[in-house]
Structure formats: C-alpha cells, structure tokens
Structure 1
Amino acid sequence: MARIGEFRSPAARARFYTAYDRTFAQLWPIPGEALDVATSYGATRVHRCGRGDGDPMVLLHGAGGSCLAWYRHVAALGERHPLFVVDTVGEPGRSVQEEPLRDGRDGALWLAQVLDWAGVDRAHLVGFSYGGWLALQLARYAPHRLRTLALIDPAGFAAVGARFYLWLVASGCAALAPGPVRRAAAGWLANGTLLESDLLRLTMAAVAFRRRLPPPEVLRDHELRAVRTPTLMLLGERSALHDADRARARAESAMPAVRAEVVPGAGHALLMEHPEMVSARIIEFAATGDVSRDRSRSPWRPG
C-alpha cells in the first residue's frame, strides 16, 4: 500500500486550507506569488518572493509544518535574495502528495524537480529540522545544485529518541493550555513555537493530516564526508532533538566544509526563538561561505 500523506476527510482538508489561507494572509510580511509545481511526487506549493536579483535561496520547513515557519525570516532574507519557500510534499500544507517518498534519494529527486521548475541551477539551500535532513539529501545526491547549505537544528546527526517524542507530547499538551500556562511552558520546554498563537491554531487544524514521510535516518560518517558544500549549522543548546555539543562535534569531525555553532539557551525551535540572529547568520554565510572555525569569535547570546 502506497504511503501517501493525506487528510482524513475532505471536510478536514477544507478546514485546514481555510485556516492556512487565513494565517498566511495575517502573517506573511512581503508580497509574492503562490505557485503549484508539478513533480513526480505531487503538486508542490512554492511561495516566490523577495528580490528579483541576487542568488536564489530555497527554504525548507520542519516536520508537521509548512512554509509559514519562515514568516519571521522572509523579509530580511528577501532583501538580498529571490526566495522560494516550499511546502514540503507529504506535510500538512498546500502541497498534494501523489507518490510516496520512500527514502532520502526520493527526497533529493523531489527537491531537484522543484529547482528545475524554478529555473534555479544552483541555490542557497536552508533547511530546518526535517527540512535540514532533506537538504542534506540534495547535498549528497546532487551537490552541483547548491551554492551553500544552512542547517537549522537539523535531523540526521543522531537517532531521534524518547526525549524528543516526550518533548513533542508535552508541547502538544501545553499548546492546549490557557495563555499564561502556555507562555510559561515555552520557557520550561525551550519551545518558542508555544508563543505563536496563530501558528498553533494552524497546527491544531493539521491534526487531521496523516503524515507518511520516511523517518530521518542518521547519516553515517562517510555520507557526511561526502557533503562538500560549504555548510552552516546552527544548533539549539537545549534542543530535544539531539545533544547539541555532540552533534556539533560529529559535524566538525566528519564534514569537510562546515561551520557549526551552538546557540546558548535556545531550543529546537530556533526559527521562532531567535529569528533575527538566525536570519543574520544565514545572510552572512550565503554572502561569504566562510567555514573557518575561529574559536576566538564571540558566540551569540540572547539579549
């Protein structure tokens, strides 16, 4: 039986689309256009925005999310780059999956087809969480399509363990709590998404979606050594996905062109917790591709 992500019913899909469109209209800060790209795996929604010149940048969100995860970033990133912000096929967004993605190779092929449609030969590719894992697959299978790679607390450097699933459950319970409790839980759980009321309402509407994407398998050392694209890696010190220091050490020991940073006090939801810092790091790295590991550099700290 094909593993296709889909809503449980047409009514559930209609409710989600209404919530998605309303949330997008409320939150998206810059003009652009929404386009549906035909791929072998289904129609993929891509939001094209930002400047017309400059090197193109492609943004991938995390599991269970949509392009709206980037709404706090697109204004800054779009000042320098034309942006292609993707709803990953098989996730609860505006993309419609038709064929299963069975593994990382399929993920890379799907993403390459999106770039083909966009007329992008080489892009700055940015991926958060599961999107970071997908970005690594393109770096493995089609490195000639990339200028730089930016990974924001990515999956794929350690097995996803019970700690992460407990964090997800606790975060889900906190999302249903009254505002003061939810805001306090955002600090306890190091999950800035709990402060995003509009996105949480969209997440509640996405509960009716059956997600059927491959799990993010841990990349082996020889697979990481094959990723030669200049890579920026930002990790949350309190991330529930992995031990940040171990993930950084593994990346630095295996990847030949990586600059890895652990953000003090941050959790897995770096995009929401520290958007200005994340955007600034992405912009800087896309401009320079500098992977030097100067330990005298002062680490960023929350203000």
Structure 2
Amino acid sequence: MSTSATTSADGSAGSAFFAAYDAALARWPVPAEALDVRTEHGTTRVNACGPRDGRPLVLLHGGGATSAAWLACVGALAAAGHRVLAVDLIGDPGRSVLDGSPLGSVAGLLGWLDAVLDGLGVRTADLCGHSYGAWIALEYALHAPARVGRLALLDPTQCFAGFRPGYLLRVLPLLLLPRTTARARSYLDWESRGSGLDAGLREVYALGHAGFPASRPVTGPRPTPARLRELAAPTLVLVAELSRPHDARRLADSARAALPAATVTVLPGVSHHTLPTAHPAELNRHLTEFLTTHG
C-alpha cells in the first residue's frame, strides 16, 4: 500500500483529518486496497474492494466527503460481484494530491477521470455518484458514453434542477475564512435535521473542511435537455426526501421529464448528507437491483 503526501494547510489539522479518514475506512466491512494513480494533475487515491475480475463500479463522492463515505455501500456492492473503485476526488480533502497542472475546466476534470480509468486499466465501468459526484458522473457519461455502462445518481445536484435560494444562503458561511470545524458541523447538523448522520463521517467532513486549503471545485452549467437526450447509459436517480439543497418532488419530476427511461425514486426519511448511510439496506437494495438487472 502506498501513501500520498498530504495537502493540508496545517500539520496538526492534517493529522487529525487523516486519523479520522483512516478510522472511517477501517469501518468498511470489506478490506480496502489503496491504489494510487498518477496523472498530469497529481496522484489520485482509489480505495478498491470486491473481486478483481468483477465488473468495475466507480464511486464518486460528494464535495468534501472523501471516498470513505461509501462505508455503508461497499460491502453489498462487493458481495454482488462488483470491483468497487471508490475515488478520492482530486483537489478535495482526502488522499488524492493535486500537485500537477490545474484541472482548470470541466474538460480538464473529465480528462482527469479518463486518465484515472486508463491508469486502473478500466476500459468500461458503471458509475455511481452522490451530490457533486453525481454531477461529475453524469457529465462523464455524456463525455465518454462508450466507457459508461450504467449510471446511478444519488441526490444529484446541478443535474436536473438548481439549488434552493435559501440553501445557498445557509451555505455561504462555509465559504468564509477562517474555515472552521464548528461551522462545518453546524451546516451538516442543519442539513441532516439533527439525526441520521454518521458521526465518524461528520468528523471527516468537518476536519477536511477546516484543515485543507480552500479549493474552488470545477463546475459547469446543468446539462441542457438536448444533451440529456443523448445519454445512452441506463440511469437510476435516487432522491433524498428531506434534502435541503432542493425540493425532492420537484427534482424527481424534473429527472423523469429529462430522462423518461430512467428509474427515479424518492427515498423517504433521509437528507442529502444522510442518504449514503442512514438506511443502507434500502439504498443497497436499489443499487444492487439496478446494477445487476440493467445494461
């Protein structure tokens, strides 16, 4: 197992973050194999599990969450026969290190993911993304349709609808300096409505928010209806009923209108940040059924 250098702005904060990250990863129900993939942008950490000859499934976490956030899903996905490849987004807190050329644009971001798949020896894969990771997954499926078999989008942001204005106002304090763990915890507790949030992952997010240099994520406009009509991959959209970033029913209706062939389901009792862990049996049932019966 190789280890990447930290990108933390402060040594003590970085140490606390990596201790929390490693503790969360140690809770995975299956052993994680750390793979480091070098690209022109830096080193990308991929935590892999499941059968080596299984169908590749790339997991893309939400902004600031790290690949450790998939701890409630990886066991079921690996047991279903997938080679699970959980990526630490480069430029985010985690064990990926952005020490090469900047991503710069959406094209650079998608080129980075091309290079990561090339480095892993993966020609085609299924993609599953949460939040910002869902936007990346959707953009990648439109960018490289021949490389994406099936697509699962978990409470996707900026894919089918915009953010609620009130949500954006609540998020603004996160952008202010200094970046603090207290501010990040307060945001997560508000978004999760005070329940269902995994305590260990809460700490990973809060420590990563405070301990790493602020980086501007690569974003772009929502895909147009015309672009979405070009999507070839069978698609699953799971929407969090209690999500603060958007109105769940409106998001589900927008996704159905944009992708009539997609499977769109609203998951009850979960918020945007608790969706990956609060009710794992239900989430894993939806994911495994979709990934084994489509494509």
- Identity among equivalent positions (%) equals 38
**Stretch deviating more after TM superposition (235-244 or 256-265):** 256-265
Matches within 5 A, 1:1-303: 6-25=7-26, 27-80=27-80, 81-98=82-99, 99-156=101-158, 157-165=160-168, 168=171, 175=185, 188=193, 192-193=196-197, 196-206=198-208, 207-209=210-212, 210-215=214-219, 217-255=221-259, 257-269=261-273, 270-289=275-294
The Cα shift of 1:259 comes to 1.2
Structure 2, unaligned runs of 5 or more: 1-5, 175-180
* AA of the residue aligned to 1:248: A
Aligned-CA RMSD value: 2.6
CA distance in 1, matches of 2:233, 2:281: 24
Contact 2:270 2:278 in 1 (8 A): yes
In the TM superposition, structure 1's runs of 4+ consecutive aligned residues that sit over 4 Å from their partners are 166-174
TM-score normalised by structure 2 residue count:
0.84
SS at match of 1:7: coil
CA distance in 2, matches of 1:18, 1:265: 30
**Stretch deviating more after TM superposition (202-211 or 68-77):** 202-211
How many aligned residue pairs are there?
276
CA distance in 2, matches of 1:51, 1:10: 36
TM-score normalised by structure 1 residue count:
0.82
CA distance change for structure 1 residues 176 and 254 in 2, over 3 Å: closer, same or farther? closer
* AA of the residue aligned to 2:133: G
CA distance change for structure 1 residues 23 and 237 in 2, over 3 Å: closer, same or farther? closer
The Cα shift of 1:266 comes to 2.5
Structure 1, unaligned runs of 5 or more: 291-303
SS at match of 2:35: strand
* AA of the residue aligned to 2:166: R
* AA of the residue aligned to 1:275: P
Q: Deviations over 1:148-205 (max 9, x none)?
A: 000000112222343324555699659369xxxx6xx67636x632xx2222222232
Contact 2:66 2:89 in 1 (8 A): yes
SS at match of 1:83: strand
The Cα shift of 1:246 comes to 2.0
CA distance in 2, matches of 1:8, 1:162: 31
CA distance in 2, matches of 1:216, 1:275: 31
